[in-house]
Amino acid sequence: MDGNGVFGPRPVLLGHRGCGRGTVEGHRENTLESFLAAVEFGIDWVEVDVRRTCDDRLVVAHNPATDDGVFYADITGTGDALDLEELLEALPTEVGVDFDVKSAMEDATRSRADSTMGRLAGVVRREATRRPTLISSFDAGALDIARELAPEVPRGLLTWLSFPIGQAVAMAGHLDVQVLAPHWGSLRPNDVEPPELHRPLEYVVDLVHTSGREFLAWCPGVSFAQQLLDAGVDALCVNNVPRVLAELRLPTLAEVG
Task: State the pLDDT at residue 96.
Answer: 98
The H-assigned helical ranges of 106-139 are 116-128
pTM: 0.96
Rounded CA separation 149/31 (Å): 28
Strand partners, 18: none
List, in order, residues 6 or more apart from 88 with CB less than 8 Å away: 97, 123, 127
- Give CB contacts under 8 A, 24+ apart, made by 158-161: 158/100, 158/182, 158/218, 159/183, 159/186, 161/185, 161/186
Rounded CA separation 40/43 (Å): 8
* Three-state DSSP state, 246: helix
Rounded CA separation 142/68 (Å): 27
- How wide is the angle at C-alpha 134 spanned by C-alphas 228 and 28, nearest 5°? 75
pLDDT at 2 over 80: no
pLDDT at 253 over 60: no
Mean pLDDT of the chain: 95
pLDDT at 225 over 90: yes
Each domain of the chain, given as residue ranges in start order, spans: 12-256
pLDDT, one tens digit per residue, over 49-108 is 999 999 999 999 999 999 999 999 999 998 899 999 999 999 999 999 999 999 999 999
The model's confidence at residue 257, banded by pLDDT at 50, 70 and 90, is: low
- Which superfamily does 12-256 belong to? Phosphatidylinositol (PI) phosphodiesterase (3.20.20.190)
What are the respective helix, strand and coil percentages of the chain, to the nearest 5? 35, 20, 40
